[in-house]
Amino acid sequence: MNSRLAEQISYLLLRHEYVVVPQLGGFIREKLPASYDRSKHLAYPPSAELHFNSEMTHSDGLLEERYALLLGLSLRRARLVLEEEVSQLRHQLIQQGTYHLSGIGELQLSREGHLSFTPDSTALATSASAYGYAPLSLPALPQATSGRQALSGEQDSRYISLRLPKRALGYAAAVVISILALLPWGNKVETEQHYQAGFTPSVEVARQLFGEEKKVSEASSEATAKDEQGNLRWSTEQDGRYYIIIATERTEERIQTYVEQARTTLPKASLTALRSPRGRTIRLALTSFDSSAEAYAYLNELVKEHPAHRSAWVFHNN
């Protein structure tokens, strides 16, 4: 009957960000925004990745309601049916050490009692074809270039290219020369104010006029310390640590919106932006730990104190 459990988890993951299986854990669907590969000229549609959090054992009611609707039972009896199927799953997991949820992935139980999860590459909740999307070819349009840009094949986005006829440039040059010829170059009057504008006082005169220089080192050091505390740290190294992830985006501009929100709710958090090895995903982490036990303990406290971060999850950067 656990095939029914896998089918209902997949059904709910297509409609919700996460689904909690009571007494087992939560399956999280991490949304990945659309992206564009300039080297291949392909626009990739939005997609998703599946993760598992063994600490999310408290039921959110989604599976119970689904079972009640599917089996035509009351919510209480549907909960009993669900608990029985989860009990069978846990028993087989203890006996064999692994359990495969069709269309979702495989659960592994270590000798120390830690649950891990490996998603299927063709999982229904993460497959782009399930949403009716496919990569779209968008080749770059040919554009006329000149000079050094024509040799390199690149265009500088800081400048605007204007195509002007040579005859118009000749007319403009003739007008400028005529105006310069009519200016009264020999009648320039130099006054005393002209020389005063270039006067530079000595150090002694400056002290008499403006007083001693104010010490601003303390204020500047405080501002610098504040900036360093609020800065976002970027990392691409796979250091093997366990990170608490609160957002996933494709661009730095989008990740900055989550940075501002996190600084409001958790001003003391040490924010870290983790780039994926392929550079197509950016994950925003609140903090990191050496072990999974410490990371999950922090995650439980975070969810209790800040319900807005309930969708946070633990990412092993290896």
Q: What is the pLDDT of residue 158?
A: 66
Q: Six-digit token pair at 99? A: 């359990």
Partnered with residue 243 across adjacent β-strands are 288, 315
Instruction: Give residue for tokens 């991490």.
Output: 30
Instruction: Give residue for tokens 């504040």.
Output: 226
Q: Phi-psi region for residue 186, left (φ > 0), alpha (ψ -120 to 50) or beta?
A: alpha
The rounded average pLDDT for each run of 10 residues, N- to C-terminus, in the chain (318 residues) is 82 88 89 84 84 84 90 90 91 90 89 87 70 76 56 59 71 80 60 47 54 47 42 81 87 86 83 80 87 84 83 83
Sequence length of the chain is 318
Question: What stretches of the chain show up as alpha helix (H) in DSSP?
Answer: 2-13, 62-71, 75-96, 147-152, 166-182, 192-196, 203-210, 217-230, 252-265, 292-305
SS3 314: strand
- Quote the CA–CA distance of 293 and 27 in Å, as a whole number: 18
Q: What is the pLDDT of residue 214?
A: 47
- Quote the CA–CA distance of 216 and 162 in Å, as a whole number: 48
Q: What is the pLDDT of residue 251?
A: 84
Write the DSSP symbol of residue 293.
H
**Helix and strand element counts for the chain (H, E):** 10, 14
Burial class (CB in 10 A: 0-12, 13-18, 19+), 53: buried
Write the DSSP symbol of residue 113.
S
Neighbours of 61 (CB within 10 A): 11
Q: What is the pLDDT of residue 77?
A: 92
pTM, entire model: 0.48
- Contacts of residue 225, defined as CB under 8 A and 6 or more positions apart, other chains included, come to none
Q: What is the pLDDT of residue 80?
A: 92
- Quote the CA–CA distance of 83 and 21 in Å, as a whole number: 9
